[in-house]
Amino acid sequence: MAVAFLCVFIVVAAVQLVKPRLLWRANRPGAGHSLERAVGVVVLVGAVIMLVAELT
């Protein structure tokens, strides 16, 4: 079950990095835009590390 949640987190974080407007309609380029991408990177890296730890 944890693996499924981690996979969903990875997909959401990847979408946040590639096309953030798919998730958030009010997203406009600006100061918050780069912060949202940075948070997406942190979530993506954390989810991948937890997934690898869960599978090993």
Dihedral of alpha carbons 33, 14, 39, 42, sign: negative
Distance CA 47, CA 20 (A): 18
The mean pLDDT of 34-52, rounded to a whole number, is 88
Please provide the average confidence, as pLDDT, over all residues in the chain: 82
Give percent of the chain with pLDDT exceeding 90: 38
Burial of 3 (0-12, 13-18, 19+ CB in 10 A): exposed
Where are the chain's structural domains? 2-55
Residue-wise pLDDT tens digits, 12-39: 889 888 877 666 665 565 666 778 788 8
pTM over 0.85: no
pLDDT recorded at residue 28: 60
Q: Do residues 9 and 2 touch, judged by C-beta distance below 8 A?
A: no
**Can you give the C-alpha Rg of the chain in angstroms?**
12
